[in-house]
């Protein structure tokens, strides 16, 4: 089915920028958003279910720029510990 939408410019930019951030075509991102709205599954209750949910939603692997997650976490923690006013 093909549906044509006339989106406000602000929403179009937001949709495009989020798709670009995820590294996927805007059409695929729109389908993800629309598909996610009609799921009525219960929230994940185990660690394995949570990881599978994150995979399905594109959270896992969404930051290909982070090649060493432990090192990245240490840098973030180091910066947070040295923030002004902490």
Domain spans of the chain, in order of start: 9-60
- 5-30: average pLDDT: 90
Cβ neighbours of residue 55 under 8 Å, at least 6 residues apart?
Answer: 61
**Predicted pLDDT of residue 37:** 55
* pLDDT, tens digit (0-9, with 9 covering 90-100), for 18-47: 889 888 899 988 888 888 755 456 788 999
**How many Å apart are CA 17 and CA 8, to the nearest integer?**
14
Residue 54 has pLDDT above 70, yes or no: yes
Q: Would you state the pLDDT for residue 62? A: 84
Confidence (pTM): 0.43
CB-based burial, 53-82: b 16+ in 10 Å, e otherwise: eeeeeeeeeeeeeeeeeeeeeeeeeeeeee
């Amino acid at each position: 089915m093909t549906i044509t939408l006339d989106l406000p410019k602000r929403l179009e930019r937001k949709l495009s920028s989020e798709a670009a951030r995820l590294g996927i075509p805007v059409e695929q991102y729109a389908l993800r958003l629309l598909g996610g709205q009609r799921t009525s599954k219960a929230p994940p209750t185990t660690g394995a279910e949570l990881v599978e949910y994150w995979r399905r939603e594109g959270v896992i692997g969404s930051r290909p720029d982070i090649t060493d997650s432990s090192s990245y976490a240490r840098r973030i923690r180091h910066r947070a510990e040295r923030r002004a006013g902490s």
